[in-house]
Amino acid sequence: MANSDGSIRLFGRFRRVTALAALGAILSPILSPAGVFAQSASSTRLSRPSTPHVLSVSETSTRISLPAASAAPVRLSTGGLFDAFRQSPVPPATSRPQAKPTIFSGASVSALFPVKRLQMLQGRDLVVLVDKSSSMRTIDAPGGLSRWDWTARELSTLSGQLGRIPDTRLDVIFFDNGTRKYTGVKLNALPSIYADNSPSGGTDVARAMREELENLVARQSQGGAVRPRPMLMAVITDGAPSSSRALKDLIIDTTRKLGSPAQLKITFLQVGSENQGNRLLPELDHGLVQEGAAFDIVKSRSFAELIRSGLVNALIDAVS
């Protein structure tokens, strides 16, 4: 009889342990993946290490401890493949930083030109006079640029385009009350050239032009079998010159010494919206022949026109 009672008790205990093991198997995939499932003949316990929240099941009691409302919520697990994705989250997508355009990139809104059109500048000496008076610091150019930086960008485009055609030379002269000249300027030299200059002083255009025009007339008067290269001069300025009368007289006198109007073309290009400059440039464009010039060699463009065309097109139009 004793053996029979012991067998009955052992069988009953086995049934309870089996039932508890089944309950643990059901609850295991629902609770946190951090829990550790351990089964023995006497107890079944599912616990989360390093936390006080334990779900335990034994042959004598079933106790569930839930976290307080202020504690971190218990995460449920779906187990398997989904757990692997949750434990190794995909980092949030980040946008690739966009390269910021630079002033001296050699490109602008007017950067693409047919080579046939660019060839109209071939065989010429290009002399670009850049106003570096204090007012060139004014920020009123496209792209939120100052007049000074906008001019630098356009010169960068011009230099880059001239590299596509042979037999051209670009000289750049910065002027205020004095002058500073750079000959044979290439695109890669522009950043250091601009680093050596900054807006200051006045606007003595006539002084900046005088030496170049006198040298041109001297070369042409020497004669010889080889004719001097024609010159295209562009004057980029944001206001009226220090002496408009001196400027007019210089151009008129130069035309009287030229053998042909093809030897020299001058274009005045307005930067910014100074009213005095807007009034003077049309006078230089249309009124010098009436004042005694031998040829009409001057063209001009307002800032609005220059913005639409760009520096390269303005120079091509000056010789077309």
Q: Note whether 136 and 146 are within 8 A (CB).
A: yes
Q: Angle at CA 237, nearest 5°, toward 168 and 114?
A: 35
Give the model's pLDDT for residue 221. Answer: 81
Residue for token pair 């049309």 = 282
CA 162/CA 301 separation, integer angstroms: 21
CA 41/CA 58 separation, integer angstroms: 10
Residue limits of CATH 3.40.50.410 in the chain: 115-319
Domain 115-319 annotated CATH 3.40.50.720: no
Q: Which residues are registered as beta bridge partners of 45?
A: 38, 56
Per-residue pLDDT of the chain (320 residues; tens, 9 = 90+): 445 455 545 455 555 655 555 555 555 554 444 444 344 444 444 444 444 444 444 444 444 444 454 444 444 444 444 344 345 454 555 545 444 446 776 554 445 678 899 999 999 999 999 999 999 999 999 999 999 999 999 999 999 999 888 888 999 999 999 999 999 999 889 999 999 999 998 889 999 999 999 999 998 887 666 678 899 999 999 877 778 899 999 999 999 999 899 999 999 999 987 765 567 888 899 999 999 999 999 999 999 999 999 999 999 999 98
Give the model's pLDDT for residue 256. Answer: 95
Give the model's pLDDT for residue 89. Answer: 52
Give the model's pLDDT for residue 295. Answer: 93
Q: Angle at CA 254, nearest 5°, toward 248 and 259?
A: 145
